[in-house]
Amino acid sequence: AHLSFGGRRALVTGAGKGIGRAVAVALSRAGARVTALSRTAADLESLARECPGIETLCVDLADWETVEAAVGAAGPFQLLVNNAAVAELQPFLEVTRSALQRSLDVNFGAVLHVSQIVARQMIAQGVPGAIVNVSSQASKRALKDHAVYCSTKSALDMLSKVMAMELGPHKIRVNTVNPTVVMTDMGRINWSDPQKSAAMINRIPLGKFAEVDDVVNSILFLLSDKSAMTTGSSLMIDGGFLVS
Ligand code: NDP
């Protein structure tokens, strides 16, 4: 049976492009009332045209005060997908302060902050909620030039576990999905070099990268009542990379 989210309100961050955009569309088609948050106005305008009914919020997640006001006014939500992230790959010896700061702000700080705002609203409503944080296989394995990215995703996995522990008594579940490479804009920027991608694919037992839909399906599962007893877990979408 198809998953249905009728009557639920969902917030998806980083919904202008890639995985977040596909999640927003899928949730909307499954009956949820979706608010899509992203940074580039043109992306949100085209999303709203593609999928009438989706509401949009154009904010930079690194801007704490603006996020507080915008997300606070847009809620309450019962479903949250913290999907936005940046991947600025640099050799460890060349990591810059600005890349570090942006990555910490968006990949980690904004997840904490948006989740606080949304979870407070969930608790005030007194209804169950589900949060999915989009992590990566990179949270569990060291990858060359990924010092900052791997570390922020690792921190995100641990944050998700503590959130699951503290929010469980309020009937709010928190899980992560951890995909391997997906050929979105982010994937293409970092994995278009055929030698580099072949080396990664060779380490994946299923012998391929993930598709956007593979990630969308797992996120929808973890948002739905089909995963009602699952919280604090990380669902690998890595074709077996981690066990290889
Ligand atoms: P994309 O770069 O294709 O899309 C990311 C989206 O997030 C964009 O719409 C972007 O907006 C938005 N975003 C980024 N920074 C901010 C910000 N400060 N404020 C608001 N919105 C922001 O990425 P993917 O779809 O590939 O990635 C989605 C998630 O999946 C990320 O968490 C990523 O780490 C994770 N992931 C991706 C993998 C891959 O290979 N692609 C593999 C494993 C995990 P804008 O373009 O306007 O900046």
Does 168 have pLDDT greater than 60? yes
85 in ligand 1 pocket by Cβ < 6 Å?
yes
Check whether 5 has a pLDDT greater than 90: yes
CB contact set of 94 (below 8 Å; sequence gap of 6+): none
CA contacts within 13 A on the Cβ side of 189? 9
Å from CA of 19 to ligand 1 middle? 7
Q: With a cut of 80, say whether residue 84 has pLDDT above it.
A: yes
Which of 77, 108, 149, 209 does the annotation list as catalytic?
Answer: 149
Give 122-143 pLDDT, tens digit per residue. Answer: 999 999 999 999 999 999 999 9
Model confidence at 9, in pLDDT bands (50, 70, 90)? Answer: very high
Per-residue pLDDT, averaged over 43-70, amounts to 97
% of the chain exceeding 70 in pLDDT: 100
pLDDT grade for 2, boundaries at 50, 70 and 90? confident
pLDDT at residue 231 in the model: 99
pTM for this one?
0.98
What integer pLDDT is reported at residue 1 of this predicted model? 57
Q: CB of 19 closer than 6 A to ligand 1?
A: yes
Percent of the chain scoring above 90 in pLDDT: 99
Token pair of 13 as six digits = 């961050």
Note if 215 is an active site residue.
no
* Mean pLDDT for the stretch of residues 86-107: 98
Residues of the chain by 3-state class (helix, strand, coil), percent to 5: 50, 15, 30
Interface pTM (ipTM) of the complex?
A: 0.99
Q: What is the pLDDT of the chain when averaged over all its residues? A: 97
- Which DSSP letter does residue 205 get? T
Decide whether any atom of ligand 1 lies within 6 Å of the 239 Cβ: no
Read off the pLDDT band of 232 (50, 70, 90): very high
User: How far from 230 is each of 12, 137, 222, CA to CA, in Å?
Assistant: 20, 19, 8
